[in-house]
């Protein structure tokens, strides 16, 4: 299933909804959306909402860090909302603690807190 993407130019928040197993091609499309915004001078604030998330598709090239090295320093903040069972893996996947942008994880009942945090 494709990732649903919404962008709010007033807040620079890029919202991604992922509701199934994440495939590499869908992820690459999301990276392309962000790269396009970054190329216009936007420092996006990324909000990822995992609703029915099934993990990452196996057998894919998930260790490709080209986007992170090329554009990662231009992302202002990353908030992820999802079931607590995914927190450790998502933090590893997003490079929490290894990038300029702070990364925070929120459980679904804290969605509005995540929205406020990423937009701050």
On the question of pLDDT at 68 being above 90, the answer is: no
What would the mean pLDDT of 19-38 be, rounded to a whole number?
94
The C-alpha atoms of residue 26 and residue 9 are separated, in whole angstroms, by 22
Structural domain boundaries, residue 33: 4-119
Closest CA to 34 of 23, 24, 45: 45
53 contacts 86 by C-beta, under 8 angstroms: yes
User: Residue 96 has what pLDDT?
Assistant: 94
Predicted TM-score (pTM) of the model is: 0.94
Average pLDDT estimate for 103-108: 98
Indicate if the pLDDT at residue 6 is higher than 80. yes
- Are 70 and 44 spatial neighbours (Cβ–Cβ below 8 Å)? no
CATH code at position 42: 3.30.750.24
Taking a C-beta distance cutoff of 8 angstroms, is the pair 18, 53 a contact?
Answer: yes
**Number of folded domains in the chain?**
1
pLDDT given at position 1: 59
């Amino acid at each position: 299933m494709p990732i649903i993407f919404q962008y709010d130019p007033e807040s620079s928040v890029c919202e991604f909804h992922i509701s199934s197993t994440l495939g590499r091609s869908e992820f690459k499309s999301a990276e392309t959306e962000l790269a396009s915004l970054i190329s216009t001078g936007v420092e996006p604030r990324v909000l990822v909402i995992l609703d029915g998330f099934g993990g990452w598709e196996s057998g894919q090239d998930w260790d490709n860090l080209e986007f992170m090295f090329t554009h990662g320093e231009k992302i202002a903040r990353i908030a992820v909302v999802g079931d607590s069972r995914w927190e450790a893996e998502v933090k590893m996947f997003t490079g929490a603690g290894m990038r300029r942008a702070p990364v925070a994880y929120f459980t679904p009942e804290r969605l509005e807190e995540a929205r406020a945090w990423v937009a701050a």
